[in-house]
């Protein structure tokens, strides 16, 4: 799930995200600040950056394992009117490794699903 908790300004929002549990674990939740920047020049990328933040109005819940995103984001370069190149960056922590490993071994489609949702958002 994903819901906007606070619109900081037109380019930055704070989201509350929940994700399903890995086998035998609690589901995870995140409170993240997402910033987006339009390119200043045609050759520069569109940037979406995310990092975890703390909000007193959204304390950790006992039903979730509160997880953190240290630093993550996308750089989206326009290749033509109908295509683009997307670069994904993520500072990986031990809490994120099980999800990343599941994607790399093919036992999960969460990165693919996330990428498809990003494409829908950008359209």
The continuous run of DSSP H or E covering 41 comes out as none
* Structural domain includes residue 105: no
- Residue 107 inside a domain? The answer is no
The per-residue pLDDT string of the chain (123 residues; one tens digit each, 9 = 90 and over) reads: 889 999 999 999 999 999 888 777 889 899 999 999 999 988 899 999 999 999 999 999 999 999 888 888 999 998 888 888 988 888 876 666 666 666 665 555 565 666 666 666 655
Domain span at 41: 2-91
Residues 6 or more apart whose CB falls under 8 angstroms from that of 105 comprise: none
Q: How many domains does the chain have?
A: 1
Q: Is residue 44 part of a domain?
A: yes
82 in a structural domain? yes
> 28 lies in a domain?
yes
In this structure, is residue 98 part of a structural domain?
no
Q: Give CA–CA dist 46/108, Å, rounded.
A: 27
Distance CA 77, CA 52 (A): 25
> Which CATH number is 58's domain given?
3.30.530.20
Q: Is residue 118 part of a domain?
A: no
List the one residue out of 91, 5, 100 whose CA is nearest residue 51: 91
Q: How many CB atoms lie within 10 A of CB 12?
A: 14
The three-class DSSP label of residue 73 is strand
pTM: 0.72
**Assigned domain for 120 exists:** no
Helix spans in the chain (H): 97-104, 110-122
d(CA 91, CA 94): 10
């Amino acid at each position: 799930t994903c819901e906007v908790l606070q619109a900081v300004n037109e380019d930055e929002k704070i989201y509350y995200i929940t994700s399903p549990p890995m086998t035998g674990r609690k589901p995870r939740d995140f409170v993240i600040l997402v910033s987006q920047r339009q390119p200043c020049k045609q050759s520069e990328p569109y940037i979406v950056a995310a990092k975890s933040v703390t909000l007193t109005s959204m304390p950790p819940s006992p039903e979730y394992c509160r997880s953190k995103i240290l630093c993550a984001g996308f750089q989206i370069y326009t290749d033509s009117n109908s295509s683009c190149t997307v670069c994904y960056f993520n500072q990986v922590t031990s809490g994120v490794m099980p999800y990343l490993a599941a994607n790399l071994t093919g036992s999960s489609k969460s990165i693919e699903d996330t990428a498809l949702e990003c494409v829908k958002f950008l359209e």
